[in-house]
Structure 1
């Protein structure tokens, strides 16, 4: 990659995965003013209790753009895999297929994800919004930091809080069928007869549970894969 040399080598995109995420390392949420005063100064606007606390990565006494480093993986899956099996027993047949991805990270953001990003009335509708830092709920690991009137430049910096793990395993296909014996169907003029049930997108197993991570959405606004169930008969005469 043809890029200008940066002051710190870890800030260079060259040598990293294509699409590698860069950002700050979040250390939780500030609990009180005393913790703010005793921490390195953060240069992304005014900081109050309940705001995100970041690591001074280069240990120069301040937290700024120079503290953004590689975080997570790329938004392009490094590992894509699939496996399945077919079984046959006395006329019955059973098929199953799984597929998945790993070593992939997606970003979070957007007006429908960041509360009050564009002013009152544009907040998100997720139940997760209830899990936010308040004086009564001073959880340093709350999903959302302190809510603010308008966007907070500090709280929504690219960081380990604004990415999510896109790893998943999907039960993609499940099929069960039965083929009738020829001597059963010959009297009615059939050569073969099979009935079956085929289901697609049966189940999803993933650490991220707010939406289907395979959509790679930053705010959950993309349609997930539909679940389909087909029941059929295949016959020949």
Structure 2
């Protein structure tokens, strides 16, 4: 009977794309110690960890100005990527896992070939710390956010900045692209979130309500729509 219930829950999660509403024992889903591995090697604060989309690898960024690659199945350190001259603030893989992008307090964005581990392009244009970076779903463009209050759109093939988005009044802390590639969300020290259109760069709206820095943002998947019971009030968008 318990096996049947678990199977039903699993099937429902596959269908809805998320956990079911039924109450479940925390022991079923909360990770418990001891940890499988403790990965050591960075000499300063680790700022970001991301999974490779296909291989059993993770990449970590650090304030020691390096990026490290780890095999999370074996716990082994695979490679250290060096090139930035100041803390690495954010990293992201494209959907194929062939490319890794990084941004740093050295005001640059770097593109790494994940097959050779070589930096193939360095993008300059921001005037301050670059705090966030991500790929568009197609992998053709990179989006970066900076303490210079701007968001830049870079063309991967040429490393050229094709558009600069201006609107935030303070440091842009994070940028994230909607799954269909048509919208960018950005969060800022100015307490607000902005929604931008791709590729036009037009600001579609500003979400207000936080009383302090908005550090992180994430797009909810389409499957989460049925679980959102209260819409955002119209007053939250200008």
Q: TM-score, with normalisation over the residues of structure 2?
A: 0.23
Instruction: Give the structure with higher Rg (CA).
Output: 1
* Higher RCO (C-alpha 8 Å, min separation 6): 1
Could you tell me the TM-score, scaled by structure 1's length? 0.23
- Judging by fraction of residues, say which structure has more strand: 2
